[in-house]
Amino acid sequence: MDYSEVFGKVMSHAKEYGFIYQSSEIYDGLSAVYDYAPNGVLMKRNLANLWWKFMVQLHENIVGLDAAILMHPTTWKASGHVDAFNDPMIDNKDSKKRYRVDHLLEEYIEKQLLKAVKEADKNAKKNGWALDSPEYRNYLSKHRSTLKAKEVEQKMNAALNANDMNALKQLIEECEIVCPVSGTKNWTEVRQFNLMFSTQLGSVADQSNTIYLRPETAQGIFVNFLNVQKTNRMKVPFGIAQIGKAFRNEIVARQFIFRMREFEQMEMQFFVPPGTQKEWFEIWKQKRYEFHLMLGLPENRVRFKVHEKLAHYADAAVDIEFEFPFGFKELEGIHSRTDFDLKQHQEYSGKKMAYFDPERNESYIPYVIETSVGLDRLFLAHYCNSYCEEDAPTAEGGTELRTVLKLHPLIAPIKIAVLPLLKKDGLPELAEKIFDVLKWDYDIQMDEKDAIGRRYRRQDAKGTPYCITVDHQSLQDFTVTIRERDTMQQYRMHIDELDNFFQSVLNFKTYYKAFHEK
Ligand code: GAP
């Protein structure tokens, strides 16, 4: 199966196997809002717990926080979100559809680059060039430059940086971009839309009571910087980590849980002495990249992308991109946020944000390196990456298609399924006993219905890494069959050994050490 087909498969699998439902589905859903179903919630929590372990538990200089979603409205004035958290949008007058201008232009650039590759491939075939030959590369780069993709990208970045809406409109016209729905070039002017959701505090609705649902969790960390530093006696450099909901009124919310209006972020702000931010930026870039590989995202699907257009608070920024079935897209942002946020909060609140550094014997406002990953996006990355359809042998000696989620065992929602071969002869009772021993440490499931082969398939499709089958031999010698999801290998094991076995194969420390000793 081609990887580009995986996205559609994942969307239907998510509903069928209880990972994700559309929010308020009985009312036809709410656009770009989703609910996590029983398997999805387990998988999401596993990802969140692994992030927490990796970031907080393994770093003695990082502590956690759980700040409220609602914050004093001045927070968002100080952070720049009230004035600058905008996306440039354009409407097509015929289809009445609204688009993000930078997305339309990026799609155009991508198409141009693809066109160049196709053209070069055609020429390579005609002239007998190998795809890694200098002739091929020269042709490709020459042809790319004639297509002006680079020039459009530069113009777009300049216009975005200068907030120049007219220049963006001009670029849309120059590139002759048409609406993907109506196919026409009948565009409105480009306008800025603020992405924050607002609501009213208390019962009286007037402007002074307007508050916002936080568009990022980071500000809850900034405003608590000195509280945490003082109450936990932290010394710079140190970090504060948080997992929580964020809300953005995304105008173009597509692609399932990739871009949602209500989503979850896992963010860490690392406070460092001014002048050391470059070196910490590199350290966190590397650590965060390793986190993704450690949990099984393959090297060829994870890459860095340096930001050309910097957010209003950053002096350097890089994305960790993952290759989703619809292309390489941002999975995590790593930003060097300077002292912008703390300084702004100092100015707007009138409260000092400086830290006295006993080693340097001076006070300063720390600089901040931020790592920010969307939990839902991380979920989608692992979902797409692990989804497989492959031939598997049947009991009758033939083959059948099996759907399997080859998730990292620590991410899989259900770790172990206990399957009594028959629903009689004391097999369910023994299975129940095994369930009772293991349930304290793992998310585990009893499955008694249907033929054993069908039950294996059901567990494969949910990503369960281990099945334990209880049969008549189990009643005699207290051994059971362990069946592995990926290899479909089976072996017998004494019931007394199960606990130790799972402690060793479902262990964060083991995976962490194995990855770092490679
Ligand atoms: N505090 C920095 C910040 O919020 P961001 O790049 O806007 O930076 C960080 O967001 C991460 O949050 C993204 O890399 C992405 O994984 C996730 N994210 C952002 N908007 C999202 C949305 N609408 N739906 C799902 N995830 C989103």
Closest ligand 1 atom number to CA of residue 378: 16
- The pLDDT-based confidence of 485 (bands split at 50, 70, 90) is very high
The CA 216 to ligand 1 mean position distance, Å, reads: 8
The CA 219 to ligand 1 mean position distance, Å, reads: 14
Nearest residue to 459 via CA among 36, 39, 20: 39
Closest ligand 1 atom number to CA of residue 259: 24
- Counting ligand 1 atoms within 8 A of each CB, the residue from 247, 265, 340 with the most, and so the one to mutate, is 265
Beta bridge partners of 87: 193
How far CA 231 is from CA of 63, 379, 463, in Å, comes to: 11, 34, 42
SS3 448: coil
**Cβ atoms of residues 410 and 400 within 8 Å:** no
pLDDT, average across residues 53-63: 97
Beta bridge partners of 127: none
Of 13-22, 329-338, 391-400, least confident by mean pLDDT is: 391-400
- Counting ligand 1 atoms within 8 A of each CB, the residue from 269, 377, 378 with the most, and so the one to mutate, is 377
Q: Name the DSSP letter for residue 407.
A: -
CATH class label, 86-191: alpha beta
The CA 248 to ligand 1 mean position distance, Å, reads: 9
Of 64-68, 88-92, 148-152, 258-262, least confident by mean pLDDT is: 148-152
Q: Name the DSSP letter for residue 133.
A: S
The predicted pLDDT at position 206 comes to 66
pLDDT, average across residues 106-111: 87
Residues 6 or more apart in contact with residue 1 via CB below 8 angstroms: 9, 388, 389
**Cβ atoms of residues 213 and 196 within 8 Å:** yes
The predicted pLDDT at position 115 comes to 82
- The pLDDT-based confidence of 147 (bands split at 50, 70, 90) is low
pLDDT, average across residues 328-338: 96
The CA 313 to ligand 1 mean position distance, Å, reads: 15
Give nearest CA residue, ligand 1 atom 17: 374
Nearest residue to 67 via CA among 263, 233, 214, 200: 214
Give nearest CA residue, ligand 1 atom 14: 332
Cβ-count burial 316-342 (b if 16+ within 10 Å, e if not): bbbbbbbbbbeeebbbbbbbbbbbbbb
pLDDT, average across residues 185-202: 93
The predicted pLDDT at position 140 comes to 77
Is 80 exceeded by the pLDDT of residue 203? no
Percent of the chain scoring above 90 in pLDDT: 79
Whether 86-191 and 414-516 share one fold: the answer is: no
Pocket of ligand 1 (CB under 6 A): 216, 218, 248, 250, 259-260, 263, 265, 267, 330-333, 370, 372-374, 376-377
Residue range 414-516, CATH number: 3.40.50.800
pLDDT, average across residues 60-89: 94
Helices then strands, counting H and E runs in the chain, come out as 18, 23
- Counting ligand 1 atoms within 8 A of each CB, the residue from 85, 322, 330, 382 with the most, and so the one to mutate, is 330
The tokens for 251 are: 């105008």
**Cβ atoms of residues 36 and 19 within 8 Å:** yes
Q: What is the pLDDT of residues 248-296, one digit of tens each?
A: 998 766 789 999 999 999 999 999 999 999 999 999 999 999 999 999 9
SS3 60: coil
The predicted pLDDT at position 428 comes to 96
The CA 131 to ligand 1 mean position distance, Å, reads: 36
pLDDT, average across residues 129-148: 78
Q: Pairing between strand 466-470 and 416-420?
A: parallel
Helix (H) or strand (E) holding 222: helix 218-223
Is 70 exceeded by the pLDDT of residue 52? yes
Going from N- to C-terminal start, the domains of the chain cover 86-191, 414-516
Give nearest CA residue, ligand 1 atom 19: 374
The CA 87 to ligand 1 mean position distance, Å, reads: 14
SS3 169: helix
The tokens for 68 are: 């409220």
Of 23-32, 199-208, 338-347, 488-497, least confident by mean pLDDT is: 199-208
The CA 349 to ligand 1 mean position distance, Å, reads: 26
Give nearest CA residue, ligand 1 atom 15: 374
The predicted pLDDT at position 137 comes to 81
Mean pLDDT, the chain, rounded, equals 93
The CA 170 to ligand 1 mean position distance, Å, reads: 29
Backbone angles phi, psi at 194, to 5 degrees: -80, 140
**Cβ atoms of residues 269 and 239 within 8 Å:** yes
Q: What is the pTM of this model?
A: 0.87
Nearest residue to 229 via CA among 127, 95, 363, 379: 363
The tokens for 191 are: 């306008």
Whole-angstrom Cα distance, residue 54 to residue 48?
A: 10
The tokens for 467 are: 């099945």
**Cβ atoms of residues 322 and 302 within 8 Å:** yes
Nearest residue to 76 via CA among 161, 197, 193, 160: 197
- Counting ligand 1 atoms within 8 A of each CB, the residue from 102, 266, 302, 372 with the most, and so the one to mutate, is 372
